[in-house]
A and B are shown apart, each in its own frame.
Chain A
Amino acid sequence: MGTKATIAILSGKGGTGKTLVSVNLAAVAANATYIDCDTEEPNGHIFIKPTIVNEYVVTEPKPVVNQDLCDGCRKCVDNCAFNALAFIGKNLLVFNEICHSCGLCTYICPKGALHEEQRPLGIVKRGRKNGMTFLSGEMKVGESSAVPIIKALMREQQTDLVIIDSPPGSGCLVTETVGNADFCLLVAEPTIFGAHNLAMVHELVTLMGKPSAVLLNKTQEGENPSEIYAKEHGLKIIGSLPYDEHLALLTSDGLLAAEEDKHYHTYFKELLSAVVQEARHASNSDPQR
C-alpha cells in the first residue's frame, strides 16, 4: 500500500481503545510511522517495544519580567489575549500555565522589561521497531499544555503511512492532532457516555472538514448507543470489534494482538486496508489536493 496517508485515531473519551487500534494498525502495516500524541500518559511503547534512537527536550518560551524596568503601564496586562498577566502593587505577575507563548507582551513592552526564556515542557522520543518508525511525546509532570510537543512530533520525519494515536477528548491537543490528519478513525464504546463523547469528537472533526468513520469497539449483544448515534448522524461505521476477553488479556499483558493471534492479524490488516481506502477516497475527492 504505497499510499501517502495520515490517519488519526480518536475518541471522545479515554479508554475506548485508541491505543489498541493504533498500535495494531501500525504493526500490520509495512513501514508505518506510529506517533503517540497522548502526551500526558503515552503508552504505545508498552506494546511496540521500540529501540529508542533519539530523544530531545521540547521547550517553549515564557515571558520573564525585570521588575526594576517595569513602570506599571499595564500595556501587557491589557493586551494579553489570554489574561496571563496581572499588575498588583508594584509588581507584574506572570501566569505561565495560562500563557500561550505568543510573545506579544515582550514585543509591546515600551520599557523592555519583559524578555522570553525557554522552559522545558517535555520530551520527544524517536525509535524503531522492525520497519516501523516510532515517535512519542511526553509532557513534564505539572505542565498544562502539550501543544508544542505535538507540533514537534509532527515536524519529525515520517513515512508515507502515518498512524496518530491521539490524546483523548476534543480539546486543543486533539485539534492540533486532527489538523495534521487526512482521515480520522473514531473509536467508540457501546455506552451512553461513549456515544456522548463520540458525538463531541465527531462534531470537532466535522467542523474541521476532516473525513471520518467510526470503529465500534467492545460490541456486545444489545443496543449500542454509539451505533445509534452513527446511524442518526450519517457517520460511516467502518467496522466493529466485538468484546473479547482473550484480546483484553493480550492487551493487559502489553502484547500486540496482531502479532500474537492470527485472527487479529487478519482483522487489523483488513481494517487498515479499509481505512487507507477511505483516506485515499477522501483525498481524491478533495478538490484542493
Chain B
Amino acid sequence: MIVAIPAEEKSLDSAICVSFGRAPIYCLYDTEKETSTFIDNKAAEASGGAGIQAAQFLVDQKIDSLITFRLGENASRVLSAANISILKALNLSIADNIENLLEGTLTSLNEVHPGFHYGH
C-alpha cells in the first residue's frame, strides 16, 4: 500500500504540512517495501485549483491512502472518485504518523472544508 503525506521537508522526521493542496512536498511511503520517496508538489504554486491538481497527481502516483490534517471539498471529490482512503493526521512527525497508520490507530477524516477560491 502506498500512503501520501503532505510534508514540510524531505525527511521522515518532518512535520506534516497543514495544507494539503499547497504543501511544498509529498512523502510517498510504500508500506510493503518500507521505502519513502519525497516529491515536490507542482500544484503548490498554482493560482487556483491547487487541491484538484495535487489530488490528480497523487491519484496518478497510485496512492491508496492519504494522511492529512485537512482537505478541501474539490480535492476530496477527486480522491473519493479514486477510492482513496483519507486519514486524519496526528500532530506528530511523518514517521510517527506512519507508525500509527500501521498500528491502525488513525481515524478517517470526515470533514472537508470549502475551497479558499473566494472572489476569483
> What are the residues of chain A within 8 A of B119 when measuring CB–CB?
144-145, 169, 171-173
Give B52's nearest chain A residue, CB to CB. A83
Size class of the A contact interface (CB-based, 8 Å)? 20 to 34
In the bound complex, do residue B74 and residue A95 qualify as a contact, i.e. CB atoms below 8 Å apart?
yes
In the bound complex, do residue B82 and residue A93 qualify as a contact, i.e. CB atoms below 8 Å apart?
no
Interface centre among B46, B49, B53, B117 (most CB of A within 10 A): B49
Residues of chain B at interface, number, CB under 8 A? 21
In the bound complex, do residue A144 and residue B81 qualify as a contact, i.e. CB atoms below 8 Å apart?
no
Contact with B along A63-98 (1 / 0, CB 8 A): 000000000000001001011111111010101011
In the bound complex, do residue A83 and residue B82 qualify as a contact, i.e. CB atoms below 8 Å apart?
no
In the bound complex, do residue B120 and residue A100 qualify as a contact, i.e. CB atoms below 8 Å apart?
yes
Q: Which residues 31-89 of B sit at the A interface, judged by CB distance below 8 A?
A: 43, 46-50, 52-53, 55-56, 59, 74, 77-78, 81-82
Q: Which residue from A95, A145, A172 sits with its C-beta under 8 Å from B52?
A: A95
Q: How far is the CA of A83 from the CA of B49 in the complex (A)?
A: 5
In the bound complex, do residue B74 and residue A91 qualify as a contact, i.e. CB atoms below 8 Å apart?
no
Q: How far is the CA of A91 from the CA of B119 in the complex (A)?
A: 28
Q: Which residues 19-42 of A sit at the B interface, judged by CB distance below 8 A?
A: none
Q: Which residue from A86, A169, A173 sits with its C-beta under 8 Å from B78?
A: A86
* Distance to closest chain B CB from A42 (angstroms): 16
Q: How far is the CA of A83 from the CA of B56 in the complex (A)?
A: 10
Interface centre among B52, B82, B115, B118 (most CB of A within 10 A): B52
In the bound complex, do residue B117 and residue A97 qualify as a contact, i.e. CB atoms below 8 Å apart?
yes
A88-B120 contact in complex given A82-B49, A83-B49, A98-B49, C-beta closer than 8 Å:
no
* Distance to closest chain A CB from B78 (angstroms): 5
Q: How far is the CA of A98 from the CA of B55 in the complex (A)?
A: 15
Q: Which residue from B43, B52, B59, B82 sits with its C-beta under 8 Å from A98?
A: B52
Mostly, the A contact residues are loop
Q: Which residue from A84, A86, A147 sits with its C-beta under 8 Å from B55?
A: A86
> What are the residues of chain B within 8 A of A100 when measuring CB–CB?
120
In the bound complex, do residue A88 and residue B118 qualify as a contact, i.e. CB atoms below 8 Å apart?
no
> What are the residues of chain A within 8 A of B48 when measuring CB–CB?
82-83, 98
Q: How far is the CA of A272 from the CA of B82 in the complex (A)?
A: 59
Q: Which residue from A77, A80, A89, A171 sits with its C-beta under 8 Å from B82?
A: A89
* Distance to closest chain B CB from A67 (angstroms): 12
A93-B77 contact in complex given A82-B48, A88-B56, C-beta closer than 8 Å:
yes
A171-B118 contact in complex given A83-B50, A93-B77, A95-B49, C-beta closer than 8 Å:
yes
Q: How far is the CA of A51 from the CA of B3 in the complex (A)?
A: 61
* Distance to closest chain B CB from A87 (angstroms): 7
Give B46's nearest chain A residue, CB to CB. A83
> What are the residues of chain B within 8 A of A85 when measuring CB–CB?
52
Q: How far is the CA of A82 from the CA of B74 in the complex (A)?
A: 13
- Add 8 more A-B contacts to A80-B49, A89-B82, A144-B118 (CB < 8 A): A83-B48, A88-B59, A95-B52, A97-B74, A98-B49, A98-B117, A145-B120, A171-B119
Q: Which residues of A contact B (CB under 8 A)?
A: 77, 80, 82-89, 91, 93, 95, 97-98, 100, 144-145, 147, 169, 171-173
- In order of increasing CB-CB distance, the 4 nearest A-B pairs are A83-B49, A171-B119, A88-B81, A83-B53
Q: Which residues of B contact A (CB under 8 A)?
A: 43, 46-50, 52-53, 55-56, 59, 74, 77-78, 81-82, 115, 117-120
A-B pairs with beta carbons under 8 Å apart, 27 shown: A82-B47, A82-B48, A82-B49, A83-B43, A83-B46, A83-B50, A83-B52, A84-B52, A86-B55, A86-B78, A86-B81, A87-B56, A88-B56, A88-B78, A91-B81, A95-B52, A95-B77, A97-B74, A97-B115, A97-B117, A98-B52, A98-B117, A144-B118, A144-B120, A145-B119, A171-B118, A171-B119
